[in-house]
Each structure stands twice: as C-alpha cells, then as structure tokens.
Structure 1
Amino acid sequence: MKFLFADSDNQEQWLPAVRARRQLEGQPMLTVNKTHTHWLHVVNQAKANRPGLHVHPTGSEATYEAAMVFENIIRHIEYASDAQTAYMNACECQVGGGIGYWRIVTDYADDNGFDQEIFIRPVPDPLAVYMSPVKRKDGSDATFCIIYDDMPRAQFEAKYPNVAPSLVGMNVTESGWLTKDSVRIAEYYEVEEGKEWMYAIPNEGGGFAFKRESELSPLERDLLKELATNGEEVRRRRVDKRTIRWYLIAGNQVLERNTWAGKWIPVIRVVGEEIVIDGKMDRKGLVRYLKDPQRMYNYNTSAQVEFGALQTKTPWVGPLEAFEGLENYWATANRENHAYLAYNGMDENGNPIPKPERPQPPQAAEAFTAGMQAAAIEMMMASGQYEATFGKQTQELSGVALDNRKDQGERATFHYLDNLANALRFTGKQLIDLIPKIYDTRRVIRIMGEDGQESQIQVDPQARVALQQERDAENNVIRSIFNPAVGTYDVVAKAGPNFDTRREEAFQAMKELITGVPQLAQVIGDLFAKMGDFPMSDAIAERIRNWIPPEVRGDGATASEKQLMGQLEQAAQIIQQLQQALQDRTEELKIAKQQVDTDALNHLALRMENERKSQIDAFKATTDRLDKLLAVLSPEMLAALGLQSSTEALEAPPLSAGQDIPGLSGAEAYATGLVVTDLGKPVGQP
C-alpha cells in the first residue's frame, strides 16, 4: 500500500539502499506513479459494477414474495449503513494490498427503546485485523478474530474510569498497546463448538420445517410439547452448534463480554489472490506484480533527466583570442539579440583564428527512452491492461471491436470483482441469519426497493406464514405482515451496472422502441416516463398508467378503478348519444332550410307573375290611349310632346350600380335577375 500511494514526497517506490546512495550523490529520484492508474482502473470498474444481493426461497414455507421482502430489508440495511463505502474501502485494500475487510454490528435503533438494528461498518486498516487461518476465501470457517483500534487515553479514562489496563502477564512485544496518549482497544471473537437438537416440525401443508433448538419460537415449542403429550413421534437429530463469544479487551483487562447472535464471526474478508506455496500462504494484490516495472520506469526517467542536466549549456565555443576585447558582446549573446557578433579573425602574427561555433544542443539518451517505453509495456503485460483498456484509440474502429478489446483487459482483473461478489454473498448469508434473531419482536421497519423507494412493513414473529397482506374493500394492500423466521432462504451476488445506470439504459431502449413503433406508447408509456430522470416523471407515469387498461398493465383493477372505468364508459355513451342527436338536428335544419327557400321562391315567382300581368295590362291601356290620341293630334303637337318627355328624362337622377329597383326589394331584384348597370339604366331579365 505504501508503494501504491508513493509520490515525490515519500519516494516509497525506491529501494532504501538505492535511495540512500542517490541522495548522497545528489542524483535525481523521480516518481512517476503509473501503478496507481492501473489500480484505479480495477477499483473504479468495481464501483461502476457493484455487486447486488438477490434473495431466493429454498424451502420450508418460504415464498418468493417473502424473499423480496428479505431483499428489501437487506437493501435498507445497506442504505442506512452506507455499506457501499465499506465495500469499496475493502476493495481498494484488496486490489492494492491483497486483502480488505468489513464487518457487521448491531446497535440500538435509538435511546428510547430496546429495538436493535443491523449495520455494516468499514474496517479502514486491514492490518488491524488478526483472523485465524482459514481455507475458505470468505472466512466463514474462521475460529477467532481480533480487531483493534487505538482510543485516546482521555476518552478511555472518561468511558472506563474504574479500569487500569496494563501489560502484566501479556506476551506483547509492541509498545503501541499502551502509550502515554492512547490505549489500544481490541474486540475478540471466538467460536465455541457444541451440539444441539434439530427438530422436524409439521406444518399445515403436510410437510416439515427443520429448526434448531435454539431457533424455535414459543409456538413451535408448544407444538412439540403437544405432540409429545399425545404420544406422537417427534423427529429430531443431533447437529453441530456454533456459539460466537465476544469480548472487549484493553491490555490485560476484559471490559465487556457478550454472545453474538449469529452463527459466523461477523468480519468478512475479501481477498485479491491467495495460493499456498511450499506450505505457506502467499497473498497479494495487483500492485506486487507492478513493482519491478514501476521501479524500472522511475530509474530510466531519473537517468534521462540526469543525462540531459549534465550536458553542457555553453552557447558558444572558440579560442580565447577570438573573444579578446569583445567579451561584453559575447557575454550577453545568450540574453540579447545583437545585430552581429564580431570576433578576432587574426592573431598578432596575422595567423587566422577559428571562429566561435555553437555546440550541439543536449540530446536525450536513446537507451533511457527505450527503457521507459519497455517499462510501460511491461506494466501493461503484468496487469493485463493495455492502451484500449484505458480508452486510447487503436486500430479497432467499430464500437464492438473496441468493447471486445477493452473487455480483454477487464477479464485479466475480473477475479478481484468475483472475490468481492463472493464476500458480499457471505454478507447476505449472515444478514439472513441475523434478521430473524434481531427483529424478534413485533415492530414496523422500513424497507427499500431497488429503485430507492422506501416503504414500511410490519414484522410479527408470531405470524404463521412468511408474508401475509391485508387488503381493503378496493383490493388495496393496507398492511403487510412479515415473519422472517418462517422458511429458508439463500442469497446470490451478481455484479453489474448499478440501478441508475440500468435505468438510463432502459430509458434509451424504451425511447427507441416507441420511436420505431409509436403504438407501444399506449402499452409502456407509464414505464417509459417512470424511467426518466427529470422532475415530475413519477407523476406523469402515474397519470399515463391510469389510462392504460388493467389487462394491458398485467394487474387487476381495484374497486375505485373499476368505478372510474364504469363512469368513463357511461360518459362515452352519453357523448355518443349527444353526437347522434346533434347530427339528426343538423339534417332537420338542412331540410327545413331547403323547404323555406322553395316557398320563398314560389311566392316571389307568383308576385312577379302578378306584377307582369299588371304591367302588360297598363301597357295595353296606354297603347290604346296613344292610338286614340294619335288619331286626333297634329304633327306639331306630337313634336312638342316628344321634346318635353326627353327633357324630363335627362333631368331625372340616374340609378347607380347596386341601387334597389323601384317597386322591388333587393332580394327580389336579384332573384329576378334585374341588375343596374354603371350607366344607371335597368337591364331586362336574362
């Protein structure tokens, strides 16, 4: 770990002997820490693909729904404990130094009651843990474990005023256990092996639930007594019993002691690589493979800098006679831009003097440059992580080819993530074992779904089934009662992207589906909106969901939903009836309008016919009168009468275009076809 976090200040990547010699000789010691980058790639890959716990029912009245409740309780424990920090702290130590730890503890939920909660806590320093030799990587077969921490002496004396720890009688070679300023507090777990009975308890389905004597509930104990009283056979057998003792120690004093509720030591180890060689355990992480190429890189980098620094920096070289008398110009030639630089070309005897020349600039040593390149390649070879793993552009052009090349580097370090998942699975097994023992009283606890939504559930250790749900008249769940002691369960850990990443991927996938097939919006519209990471997405999803039929959603409609659907159907029928009535009324109005138009035209035609007859009769009467008048008038009288008529016609105001015809309304005039021209003269019918 020192090598991993080495830098130019501590120079932990240089061997002590080499460091002392180079410091004595004043040689540069550069630290270009490429190891940390390789380590970061593995750790950040684990952070991006954190393993998740999944609970499965395995028998004895366990149900899938109860397994989901178990899973949600574990998820809430992780959230309340900030367990991801503990997991990643252990992963950093696992990849860097070969081993990391986290632990499970219990504590009171608050200061106003006796209910306890389960928490997952980090172990910042893996060297503060001493565990018995184990054969299983998760440490489930450990027989003892010590975890220590240093407490300030003032704090220790305030918490334990009557305790005076010492090292008398202890085989302790380190002086760090008791110092002037601190007291080392050690927690010690040990396993006591014993025997106990396991009983086969009949259940209502005709099967049996297998329970250890220490795990029997009061109801189950009463049932066994009743069976024995009635002379019925009680099936039982002897099994191993593990009891975990816990002690809190300071020096040679035992401060506290207790019995741990679980059947395993609650310290989970996550290892990098372990192998037994010549009877000895060899444990390591990624860093040890990178130490030699990293030192090689640092040495070549330092030697390259030293080689360049030792080369001459003199800008001009020439005979002393060439500069004689011109020293002021040549002394400032490297700082000022002179128009010309003069030199003495002849000596006193007239012999030519060579002109000053600029030497070759400092050159890099090809051997050191090649050494740096070789060291970088060897680090990639040792870690299995090449340029494509770190995102460098290579000859692969397609996205699939780039991903395949990147996966090659990740496969070389996948065993770290796999060991992390195994440790997390063992954590889940311990939690499944602890939850029925810690949540052993009736209470309401909070649970958390995979999407982060919290809810509440009632724990009742006296319930006869694993999970039962009480519903109201509208079939809505009003209360869920959970008994964690009913049934047996197992847990698996799967590594993959976290929920937020998978939610974004699901949102994009649904978006492409709806874009290609818009009709799918009527089927998955609520799920699409729910996956969106924008304000009010949940409210939008709920509103869309109300418009999707229950048979499409895949769930049954509640009473309120059925009532609402009935009202919607009734409203749709009323709207349809109103639309039909409106259509019928429109047809009636159309027919009535046509009838009115026909009657008006008939009336107008009759009126025009009467007017025509009147005009014909008047014209005939006038003609008869003129005939009689012409018979008695002389030519002179007819001329005078014509002149007067013409004068009256010219003096009368002309009719303008659009003016009503005297004796006819505007509608009648247009209906008969009479129009008035621009000259003001009426035109006859067309």
Structure 2
Amino acid sequence: MTTLPQVDTDDDKRKDASDESSELVREGLKLYDDWRLRELANIEAGYDDLEFRAGNQWPIDVLQQRVAEGRPCQTINQMGQYVRQVTGDMRQMRPAIKVVPIDDNGDEERAEAMGGVIRYIENRSDAPGVYFQGADSQVTCGIGAWRITTEYASDTTFNQEIRIAPIEDAIAVVWDLDAVLPTKEDAMKCLVPFDISRDKFKAMFPKAIAEDFAPTGLLGSLGHLDWSTTETVRIGEYWYKKATKKTLALMPDGAIEDCTDDKERAAELTALGARIEKRDGFKVYRCLITAREVLEGPTEWQGSYIPIVPVIGEEIRIGRRLVRHGVVRFAKDPQRTYNYMSSAETEVIALQPKAPFIGTEKNFEQYQDIWESANRTNHPYLPYTPDPANGNQAPSRVAPAVASQGITEGIARAARDIQAVIGIYNASLGAASNETSGKAVIARQREGDTGTFVYIDNWSRAIRYTGKILVDLIPKIYDTARVLRIVGEDGKTETIEINQVGGMDADGVTPLIWNDVTTGAYDVALQMGPSYTTKREEARDGMRELIQAQPALFPAIGDLYVKAQDWPMADDIADRLRMLAPPQIRAQIEADSKKPMPQPPPDPAQVQAQQTEMAIKQAEVETKQAQARKAVADADKAEIELQQMQIAPLVDAMKPEPQPQPQQPDHGPTLENMATAIVELQHAVSQIVQAISQPPPQEMPTDMPPQGIPMDQQPPQPGGFFNGGQPPA
C-alpha cells in the first residue's frame, strides 16, 4: 500500500512555489483531468488497438480458460499487413513543403531560399523517419504526433538549429478541449506528459519533490497518483498562449515592422511616415511541471504556434463526443473470429490421432501399459486378451472427429470480413484475385487506396502544418548569415547561402541582403507524389516508348533518356549528348539554366578551312601594314622636305647678297605642291590604318589566335607632327 505524504489543506501554507507557479500547476492538471474525462474512451481504445496489433488478441479470461484446459489459442495476426499497406503507400510518397510568397516583401528567390532552409532542417532531423513514425501510430490507433524544437548546433557555438522530433506516445498528448481544427493550431493549451525514472529525475532536478503525490488539496479531488510510481515520475511539458497587444508599423514602402515594447522605435517610425496600429495577438510560453510544482520556466517560445503537430486518423463526431480510430479498431471482431476458427480447426485435427479404443476390461488388463500409451507411441503391435463376453472380438478405435466444413468456411468468411471492414482487398495486397486484365487489377487497387486515403490526406495536412510552423520560426532562429548544405529531391547535395550582405542599396546606406529569410510573409503548399526513383522509372519507360515510336526525337530528348538510367556514368553520357543537341534545344536549355552550355568540339575539316582562311586574311593584313609603314615613311620624308623649304629662305636671308645671276627656270617642287602631297599621303595612311583596324569577319572564331602574327609587332601610329602624333622612336 502506498503511503501518502501529509498535505496541508491551507492553500496559503502549502504552496510549493510562487503564486504564478502554483497557478500554472493548477491549469496544467485541470487540463489533464478535463481531457481524460472527455477522451477516456478514445484513450483506452487507442492503447487497446496498439496491443491488438502487437498480437495480444485474445481476451484475458478466455485465454486463461483455454490454457488451463490445454486447448490451442492461435493468433493469426492479419493486422500488420493492412497497416503496412497504408503506411507503405505513405513511405513511397515524398511530401515536399513548397514555400510561396504572399506579400510584396517576399519574392520567388526568397521563397526558394526559405524552402531550401526547410529541406536543410528536414535532412538534419531525419524528418521522413519522424513523419513515418507518426503515420504508423495514426493508422494503427487513430492518432500520431511529432514536435518542432530548437537546439544549439554544437556545444561550441551560439547558433541555434531547428529540429523535427518524434513524440513516442501520441495518445497521451493532452489538447485544449475548445480546439476544433484537425491540426489543433487553434488550441490555446497543450500538455505533453512523459515518464522518466526516479534516478534520472533526481539527477535532472535535485531540488524537486519526487515523493508520491497526494490526491487532495492542490492536486484536485481526483488525485494524480499515476504521476508518481515506485520507479517513475511523470513530467508534463505545458504549453499555453497568453493574449497580448502587438504594435505594428506600416512603412510607406509597404514593409511591416513589429515594434512591440519599443516605444522609441515606434516614435522613430512615426516620424518617417509609418502608420502605427495596435493588434491583438498571442505569445507562446512553455514550462515543465509535475503534479506538485513547476520544474522549469515559464519561458517564451519564439514562434507564434504551439510546436506540437497531431496526426489524426479518422474521426466520427457524435454531438459533442468524438470517436477517433484507425484501421485496427473495427477489424478486431473479424480478427478474433479468424483466430477462434483457426484454433478450432487445429484442435480438431490435433485430436484425430487420439481417438479412444473400445473393448472390455479383460481385453486390456494384461497389457494396460501398452494401451495407455497407444495414442502417444507408435507400437509395432497392440496385444489384447480375448474375452468371450464380446465374442472374442479385438478392441476397436472410435471414429475420429472430422474437421467441419463450417469451420473452413468460417475462416474464409472472417478473412473477407477483415478486408471489408478495413477497405483493402486482395488485389491491393498483391494477392491473385478474380481480375485477369491489368486494368482491372489496377482499378481494384485504386479502390483500396481510395478507401484508406483519409489517412494519407490527414497525414499530408499535418506535414503542411509543420511547414507553416517552420516558416514562422525560421526568421527568428536563422537570423544571421549562414551557409547551409541541403539535399535535393534527387539525393544530390547543394549549398545555399542565406542572409548574405551583397553590397549597398541605391541610397548608399542600406545594405542589400541576398536570400534574406527574415523578411516577407509566406504561405506553405504541399506537393505529394511518388518518390523520385519511382518518377524516374516512369519517365524512363515513357521516353523509351516515345523514342521507339518516333526515333527522330532521340537527338532532342536523348540526354534526358540517358540521365534517367541507372548505368554507371549515365550523367556523363547525358552531358555529352546534350552538347550534340540541336541548336534550338541548346538555346532553350541555356535560357532555362541562365548560363551558357559548353560548346561541342569543332569539326577538324572546318577547323582546317578556318585556319587557311585566317592565313590568307593575315597575309592581306601584313601587306596593308607594309603599305602603311611605307606611306608613313613617305609622309615623314615629305614633311622634312617641306620644313627644309620653309627654313631655306631664312637661311638665305642671313647669307651675303650674291651677285645677280641670269634667271634659270625652276623645275623643282614648289611649297604648294609639297603641302598638297603631304595631305594626300596622310589621307592614304588614314584609310590604310582604318582598314587594318576593322574587326575580323563574324564567321571567324574569335577565341582562336591568328596564325603567324608576331606578338611584339605594333600597328603604326597614325599621323605625324602636324596632327599631334609622336615621331617614331
């Protein structure tokens, strides 16, 4: 018998903590009591569903009676395959959380960055495993759950990370009774109880009280003795929302800033033309409680949602009462019938070799030991003593029990009843049925998928709500520049940079942030479908049929077809085929990828022709360069002669006046003729230089170096002394 501690009923004397802490304990325990009072039937039935699927399918009293009588109690568990059929469809799907912007501050690039962060969180959390664990509980007992939490990336950093973590006992999670949405996002309270050993409890909370908790006073009239046993202590993680007033500023550019509890910032924004408004909102808090005291908290959660995600199976509302179940609940009776019929058939068959012998007492008295073991031992012969009382007849065996045809029919009917109750038939399970054509089999399989699609739909709704919580939480946690490594749908890794400073805005003051995940409003959509491997196989088969029907399409889609293969180096082969694609396809690929594709290797004959053409053009260029050099030299010579002619009169004036000589006709160049010749030479030089400086023809590859051009040879400098040019060195 458990000894209860003495508890003072005077509230003012027996409070173990402050008034606020005591109030939190009262609220948490009241929520726990109210939930169990309303949901007790679902809670007990849910745990029984788990036990039933685990193989505990015989009622305790019937099992004990049959064991005492030595009768068989077979359990032919059919539940596992039906649960796995539903969860197997989920495992073949790859739910993808897609982020979409819903205001002017969010754009497609930021939404893609936000989606990349979500994939990073899912990858480091092994989110598919968490989702599948929740689905397994959902399909079995009608409810599953997981949570979103934060943690430090390591013990040597201040960077926090978001993690998606499982909740082992989803049935035990306590929700606000007024929450009506399937995701419980409208819940104001939530309690997640969990049990730990007493040793661990004392190590984690050495000053906490770990004795048995009293059933009176603070703990309520019902008591909470199940919160403390000789081996475990129950802790409740209590989440609650508290109403608050938020101060929002609408900037002239449409941006919204939260300046709650910051009056100075609100005044600054008002001066800048912002519109300030008060809005009703909530803050989320978390604390750890026992049935007696607050162990930790309360602390404010950085998000706007209680980060507990339920996964509902199927619900039937009857007035204010709600019946929640999975695929096991209503299949119990036909499963028990199946077990009973199988046990009866086994019992009948097992008793056939034990049919008794009929004879007189005298027939067996001399060989009693042999006859007593006749049903257990294979004796070579059975001796007996003749008795005149029965005409000296030998003992005879009573006809053994024969298995009833009704038992066999009962087993088959029970199997059909299980399928009818769950909604999954042989075709969906992969067994042969009456359908012969492939379309008929697929149609029957789809009927089974439709009958259980409610579980997939509710599961996908829970994952979408998870994305909504992450989108709300990411700007508060990932608020610094980081480089994250994510895994794409195809299994390839890539690096994404978030919150990176990439220069300054047009005003020269505001920094530009690339992939800024801290601004903008976003919504979440969920894409459900087969896994990447399944989709690749389907695409490969479809392209094979298309190429067989239209071989001319291979140059256009050959790279895609090869990329979908599982060969070694399939990607390398696809890259080479892509370089040989038609120009229109290559242009489209470049436009979609926003980067040029590698050019294919040129044809050797074409390269030789281009080199020959370039050699001819190079010879022409060299000829023009020689002409230009000669023209420049002639122009320089003419310029010197002109200068000499201009200087000659001055020199003659300085000489003594000579004796008059007979006048001779002047046949040499005049000053006017020399100037005209110089102008013509300069014009010719300009034309030659302009011809040399013309760009090469468009058909010549610009990336191939011209053949035979000396690197140290420079083109001639145009002009001379008259137009400001420099003389040759």
Q: What is the TM-score normalised by the length of structure 2?
A: 0.66
RMSD, aligned α-carbons: 4.0
State the SS of the aligned residue for 2:76. Answer: coil
| 1:494-549 deviation line (CA, Å, top 9, x unaligned) | 33212222122223323333344444343333333333334333333334334446
Would the alpha carbon gap of residues 516 and 305 (structure 1) be closer, same or farther in structure 2, given more than 3 Å must change?
A: same
Hey, what does 2:477 align to over in structure 1? 438
Q: Does 1:89 align with 2:130?
A: no
Inter-partner Cα distance in structure 2 for 1:58 and 1:304: 65
Hey, what does 2:281 align to over in structure 1? 241
State the SS of the aligned residue for 2:227. Answer: coil
Hey, what does 2:223 align to over in structure 1? 173
Would the alpha carbon gap of residues 513 and 317 (structure 1) be closer, same or farther in structure 2, given more than 3 Å must change?
A: same
Inter-partner Cα distance in structure 2 for 1:325 and 1:176: 66
Would the alpha carbon gap of residues 577 and 154 (structure 1) be closer, same or farther in structure 2, given more than 3 Å must change?
A: same
Would the alpha carbon gap of residues 142 and 329 (structure 1) be closer, same or farther in structure 2, given more than 3 Å must change?
A: closer
The offset of 1:84, in angstroms, is 1.1
The offset of 1:575, in angstroms, is 3.7
Hey, what does 2:89 align to over in structure 1? 45
Aligned partners of 1:197 and 1:236 also within 8 Å: yes
Inter-partner Cα distance in structure 2 for 1:3 and 1:315: 43
Q: Does 1:460 align with 2:502?
A: no
Inter-partner Cα distance in structure 2 for 1:450 and 1:200: 38
Q: Does 1:153 align with 2:186?
A: no
Pick from 279, 283, 295: which aligns with 2:324? 283
Would the alpha carbon gap of residues 342 and 90 (structure 1) be closer, same or farther in structure 2, given more than 3 Å must change?
A: closer
Hey, what does 2:557 align to over in structure 1? 524
Q: Does 1:140 align with 2:185?
A: yes
Would the alpha carbon gap of residues 465 and 241 (structure 1) be closer, same or farther in structure 2, given more than 3 Å must change?
A: farther
Output the amino acid matched with 1:261: Q
Would the alpha carbon gap of residues 291 and 237 (structure 1) be closer, same or farther in structure 2, given more than 3 Å must change?
A: same
Between structure 1 and structure 2, the one with the greater Rg is 1
Q: Does 1:426 align with 2:465?
A: yes
Hey, what does 1:254 align to over in structure 2? 295
Query: 1:11-22 to 2 correspondence within 5 Å?
Result: 12-22=56-66
Q: Does 1:395 align with 2:420?
A: no
Identity rate of aligned residues, in percent?
35
Hey, what does 1:595 align to over in structure 2? none
Would the alpha carbon gap of residues 151 and 578 (structure 1) be closer, same or farther in structure 2, given more than 3 Å must change?
A: same
| 1:361-403 deviation line (CA, Å, top 9, x unaligned) | 4310233333222222211111111222212222222211100
Inter-partner Cα distance in structure 1 for 2:269 and 2:380: 111
Would the alpha carbon gap of residues 372 and 214 (structure 1) be closer, same or farther in structure 2, given more than 3 Å must change?
A: farther
Aligned partners of 2:142 and 2:324 also within 8 Å: yes
Output the amino acid matched with 1:151: I
| 1:109-132 deviation line (CA, Å, top 9, x unaligned) | 122221111110001111332121
Q: Does 1:415 align with 2:465?
A: no
| 1:133-191 deviation line (CA, Å, top 9, x unaligned) | 22000110111112233333333433444444554743473445344544433321101
Query: Unaligned stretches of 5+ in structure 1?
Result: 467-478, 581-686
The offset of 1:36, in angstroms, is 2.5
Pick from 407, 419, 431: which aligns with 1:368? 407
Pick from 229, 234, 242: which aligns with 1:184? 234
Aligned partners of 2:133 and 2:166 also within 8 Å: yes
Inter-partner Cα distance in structure 2 for 1:300 and 1:559: 69
Hey, what does 2:251 align to over in structure 1? 201
Pick from 90, 106, 126: which aligns with 1:62? 106
State the SS of the aligned residue for 1:118. Answer: strand
Would the alpha carbon gap of residues 314 and 215 (structure 1) be closer, same or farther in structure 2, given more than 3 Å must change?
A: same
Would the alpha carbon gap of residues 187 and 343 (structure 1) be closer, same or farther in structure 2, given more than 3 Å must change?
A: closer
Hey, what does 2:337 align to over in structure 1? 296
| 1:300-345 deviation line (CA, Å, top 9, x unaligned) | 222333344455734876678899999999998984678xx9999x
Inter-partner Cα distance in structure 1 for 2:159 and 2:468: 22
Aligned partners of 2:540 and 2:564 also within 8 Å: yes
Inter-partner Cα distance in structure 2 for 1:5 and 1:229: 63
Aligned partners of 1:7 and 1:32 also within 8 Å: no
Q: Does 1:484 align with 2:517?
A: yes
Query: How many residue pairs are counted as aligned between the two chains?
Result: 551
Inter-partner Cα distance in structure 2 for 1:401 and 1:465: 64
Output the amino acid matched with 1:190: Y
Inter-partner Cα distance in structure 2 for 1:465 and 1:44: 51
State the SS of the aligned residue for 2:251. Answer: strand
State the SS of the aligned residue for 2:98. Answer: strand
Would the alpha carbon gap of residues 560 and 125 (structure 1) be closer, same or farther in structure 2, given more than 3 Å must change?
A: closer
Aligned partners of 1:28 and 1:306 also within 8 Å: yes
Inter-partner Cα distance in structure 1 for 2:479 and 2:369: 96
Output the amino acid matched with 2:326: G
Output the amino acid matched with 1:153: R
State the SS of the aligned residue for 1:423. Answer: helix
State the SS of the aligned residue for 2:529. Answer: coil
Output the amino acid matched with 2:435: E
Query: 1:483-522 to 2 correspondence within 5 Å?
Result: 483-522=516-555
Aligned partners of 1:69 and 1:447 also within 8 Å: no
Aligned partners of 2:251 and 2:269 also within 8 Å: no
Inter-partner Cα distance in structure 2 for 1:343 and 1:229: 120
The offset of 1:462, in angstroms, is 7.2
Aligned partners of 1:190 and 1:244 also within 8 Å: yes
Would the alpha carbon gap of residues 550 and 154 (structure 1) be closer, same or farther in structure 2, given more than 3 Å must change?
A: farther
Inter-partner Cα distance in structure 2 for 1:80 and 1:329: 72
Query: 1:454-603 to 2 correspondence within 5 Å?
Result: 454-460=493-499, 481-548=514-581, 551-553=584-586, 554-556=588-590, 565=599, 568-569=601-602, 573-576=606-609
550-559 vs 135-144, greater mean Cα deviation: 550-559
Hey, what does 2:690 align to over in structure 1? none
166-175 vs 59-68, greater mean Cα deviation: 166-175
Query: Unaligned stretches of 5+ in structure 2?
Result: 1-45, 506-511, 614-729
Aligned partners of 1:146 and 1:188 also within 8 Å: yes
